[in-house]
Amino acid sequence: MPSYEHDGLALHYDVVGRAAPLLCIHGATGTGDDEWSELAVLLSGRYRFVIPDLRGHGRSEDRRGDVGIDQVHGDLLALVEREQLGRLHVLGFSFGSEVALALELEHPGTSASLVLLSPGLANPADVVPTRAQLERSWPQPLRSLHTEHHGDDHWLDLIVELCERSAQRPKADLDAVGRIACPMLLVVGSRDDPRRVRVAHKIASVHPRTEVVVVEDARHTVHKDRPAEVAEVIGSFLDAHAAELSQ
């Protein structure tokens, strides 16, 4: 697994497949391999998956109090430069979808297209869960992903910080979302939190180049519940917008 240094941290990533690059941004307390390995197998013959572990996650180094979206953006832009990826397709899940959307808003023209799975929008009015609530409710499969490199309780410290930082971000500017130039695909599960489905349709209502796909009987982890179906939807969308990379 290759690595690079940015902002004083050693950051790890992987590259799977060939052809047009697809930057893949995992969810909160996930890892690149855990999040994207199945989709990469299904689509690596058509796209080159560039799969980082975000700072503080997986094999990437951590600096407490410094894992916000702005810092992650700097890491991702440094990775794009290191791999000489140029303008590329960007795929994100959950927290990763917020990172991807904010990346294009703050650095317009980075993305040839955006594929957002289970998307969300920054809203400081949302209730921030407490540490105790997160400890009771956070998905078990995500708790041990960082043990080897960061310790048993790292996942909890990480999600607490991410939730606190999310509450400090300004409310999403829908007018700015509507001005994003690249096409977007939003994929949500019908059994996800209804707010996620509403967010997808809200984005589509202001952005004329957005396609929304609701996958029946899939949960928040729509790409893991229905990997073949989601891979087909993503592949068709990316193939249809391949020409965006040359513009």
> To the nearest whole number, what is the mean pLDDT of the chain?
95
d(CA 247, CA 242): 10
Could you count the other beta carbons within 10 Å of the beta carbon of residue 137? 8
For the stretch 156-173, pLDDT in tens is 999 999 999 988 899 999
Reported confidence tier of residue 244, pLDDT bands at 50, 70, 90? confident
Domain residue limits at 166: 3-246
Domain count, the chain: 1
pLDDT tens track for 39-97? 999 999 999 999 999 999 999 999 989 999 999 999 999 999 999 999 999 999 999 99
Q: Rounded mean pLDDT of 109-133? A: 94
Tell me which residue has tokens 């490199």: 149
CA distances (Å), origin 186, targets 100, 194, 210: 12, 14, 7
**Which of the four pLDDT bands, split at 50, 70 and 90, describes residue 19?**
confident
Mean pLDDT of 170-177: 95
Q: Is the model's pLDDT at 38 over the cut of 70?
A: yes
CATH number at residue 197: 3.40.50.1820
